[in-house]
Structure 1
Amino acid sequence: MSSFLVASGVALLTAALVMTLAALRARQLGRVAVVDVAWGLGFVAVAVVMTAVGTASEGNGPRRWVVLAMVGAWGLRLAWHIRRRALGDHQGKEDPRYEELLGGPLSQVGMGVAVRKVFLVQGFAVWFISIPLQVAAVSDVASWAVVVLGIAVWLLGWIFETVGDAQLAAYKADPDRGPVMDRGLWAWTRHPNYFGDACIWWGLFLAGAAASGWWGLLAVVSPLAMTYFLLFATGARLLERTMMKRPGYPEYAARTSMFFPLPPRRSGAVPASR
């Protein structure tokens, strides 16, 4: 347990450093939205540091590198995707979500408000969600079967997140697109990227914590918290409030599962797009 406390403390310091750098960059650019890029990079940084911590502890070597590869592949792709999307969607301007959260542009509310409402919260979230990585750094593998299961769940999430993002980008680039994206994975779930993100962290929990024995099961608070935020707090439910105002979206919602992928329901509604 003492090894875990050390790893957890180091993870907290790492998350704080990443968000401090992100805050400094936000001040330089005048945009808080840089924190979205720092989100994925923060987990990669924690995973790298946890691997280093684990090297000096009793943690299982092969599993540490597997977890690092999983986090690295997910976090780096997400950071790259969000940065590219932000440059295209907002063209160097602040994300409207953050202006609403802060109560105005960063230049008006000041960095103190941004640090308190955004960077501190995000830094704590990175530390809390990364608990399975902290467990994996200082523990041996009790069941490689659970590790393999975790990799399979992670891979499912990776496919939904990457393919869903690619399909959405192709939809936006199509001049003949309909009013609502309902193609590919989006015909089975209205939020394939959010579902994929949840699977990523359930997979990391299984491979990194649950496979370590009974005490690692306590880290279930991490994927539970991530799933809650993706589904109810800042993810799907919040986005649905805006999307329901878009023409064709209520009909799309009537035939398509909101989160868990399910076959499209048959209804008498007119299809929202071709």
Structure 2
Amino acid sequence: MAAVLLQIGFLIWVYATLWFIVSLLTRRNDVADIAWGLGYVVICIYLFQTQVKASIPILVYTLVGVWALRLSTHIFLRNWGKTEDFRYRQWREEWGKTFYWRSYLQVYLLQGFLLWIIALPIVVAGISAAQEWTIATYLGILLWAIGFFFQAVSDYQLTQFVKTRKHKEDVLQTGLWRYSRHPNYFGEIAMWWGIFVIVLPLPYAWMGMIGPLTITLLLVFVSGVPLLEKRYVGNAEYAAYQKRTSVLIPWWPI
């Protein structure tokens, strides 16, 4: 396990450095968002090539690959023809002369480290020779499917809303967004817990739990919900939306 983690750590370092170079060439740091999902694809391919090709690992690689490729494609299409995402543009202005080294450390290497942590359930599956499906396998697939539905559909609904809204500060409050202010984040969290449930019967499963726990904490308390909620401070329509709509877990509006 330790040797595989070290190998993947080195692989991620090379991967993150290459994307940092891409960001310098394109003069935009939001390529890191595209790199995020594709990084998991790279890990899955590496494990598939170097570890036992068993049923459970291949299932995990497939589910993670479907999520990652859809997400990266969505972000690429969303950013195409637009200026750099406001978050990265703000950092570019705030960091000034220290922008390059802080970008490498605080965007690419930090993201690589988080990728390494969150991918732990994939590694747990990858080093296993498990072929037999258990009830945990089916429950995990179900949870992953629910998460994938919420993320894919809510991303599509948001994309269509942005295309047709009359004002930039308008708030999407229909579809899945009627039941959760962040259904896409709920979907991502559910998918990662689904992957963990699949690997639950395997050796080192306790280590695999670190991955979904990390992504949950990040999205709920650090880089997901808080950043977007802060963006709408002072927006009366969003304030009313907050009062009647669940922040994350879908529920009937008040």
User: Unmatched 5+ residue regions in structure 1?
Assistant: 266-274
Q: Report the equivalent of 2:211.
A: 222
- 1:174 aligns to 2:167 (yes or no): no
Which of 166, 179, 190 is matched with 1:188 structurally?
179
Q: 1:47 to 1:27 in 2, by over 3 A?
A: same
Query: d(CA) in 2 for partners of 1:150 and 1:103?
Result: 43
- 1:36 aligns to 2:33 (yes or no): yes
Q: Report the equivalent of 1:163.
A: 153
Query: d(CA) in 2 for partners of 1:257 and 1:110?
Result: 37
Q: Is the 8 A contact 1:132 1:219 kept in 2?
A: yes
Alignment of 1:85-100 (within 5 A): 85-88=78-81, 91=82, 93-100=83-90
Aligned pairs, how many?
A: 252
Q: Is the 8 A contact 1:161 1:192 kept in 2?
A: yes
Post-superposition shift, 1:225? 0.8
Q: Is the 8 A contact 1:154 1:204 kept in 2?
A: yes
Q: Report the equivalent of 1:270.
A: none
Query: d(CA) in 2 for partners of 1:32 and 1:176?
Result: 29
Q: Is the 8 A contact 1:103 1:109 kept in 2?
A: no
Post-superposition shift, 1:231? 0.6
Q: Is the 8 A contact 2:56 2:133 kept in 1?
A: no
Q: Report the equivalent of 1:18.
A: 15
After superposition, the C-alpha distances for 1:135-185 in whole angstroms (9 at most, x for unaligned) are 111124476211111111111110000000011111122256892101010
Letter in 2 for 1:206: V
Secondary structure of the 1:263 match is: coil
Q: Is the 8 A contact 1:143 1:211 kept in 2?
A: no
Q: Is the 8 A contact 2:120 2:207 kept in 1?
A: no
Q: Is the 8 A contact 1:154 1:199 kept in 2?
A: yes
Query: d(CA) in 1 for partners of 2:99 and 2:171?
Result: 37
- 1:135 aligns to 2:135 (yes or no): no
Q: Is the 8 A contact 1:140 1:212 kept in 2?
A: no
Q: Report the equivalent of 1:27.
A: 24
- 1:66 aligns to 2:73 (yes or no): no
Query: d(CA) in 1 for partners of 2:101 and 2:251?
Result: 44
Q: 1:186 to 1:175 in 2, by over 3 A?
A: closer
Post-superposition shift, 1:218? 2.9
Letter in 2 for 1:124: F
Q: Is the 8 A contact 1:157 1:198 kept in 2?
A: yes
Which of 29, 43, 48 is matched with 1:46 structurally?
43
Of residues 8-17 and 29-38 in structure 1, the stretch that sits farther from structure 2 once superposed is 8-17
Letter in 2 for 1:21: L
Q: Report the equivalent of 2:192.
A: 201
Query: d(CA) in 1 for partners of 2:134 and 2:7?
Result: 26
User: Unmatched 5+ residue regions in structure 2?
Assistant: none
After superposition, the C-alpha distances for 1:245-264 in whole angstroms (9 at most, x for unaligned) are 22301111111000001111
TM-score (normalizing by structure 2):
0.92
Alignment of 1:108-119 (within 5 A): 108-119=97-108
Post-superposition shift, 1:102? 4.8
Post-superposition shift, 1:229? 0.5
Q: Is the 8 A contact 1:7 1:137 kept in 2?
A: no
Letter in 1 for 2:3: V
Q: Is the 8 A contact 1:179 1:247 kept in 2?
A: no
Letter in 2 for 1:147: T
Query: d(CA) in 2 for partners of 1:114 and 1:210?
Result: 36
Q: Is the 8 A contact 1:198 1:227 kept in 2?
A: yes
Q: Is the 8 A contact 1:50 1:137 kept in 2?
A: yes
Query: d(CA) in 2 for partners of 1:152 and 1:101?
Result: 39
Query: d(CA) in 2 for partners of 1:140 and 1:31?
Result: 42
Letter in 2 for 1:217: W
Which of 237, 240, 254 is matched with 1:248 structurally?
237
- 1:238 aligns to 2:231 (yes or no): no
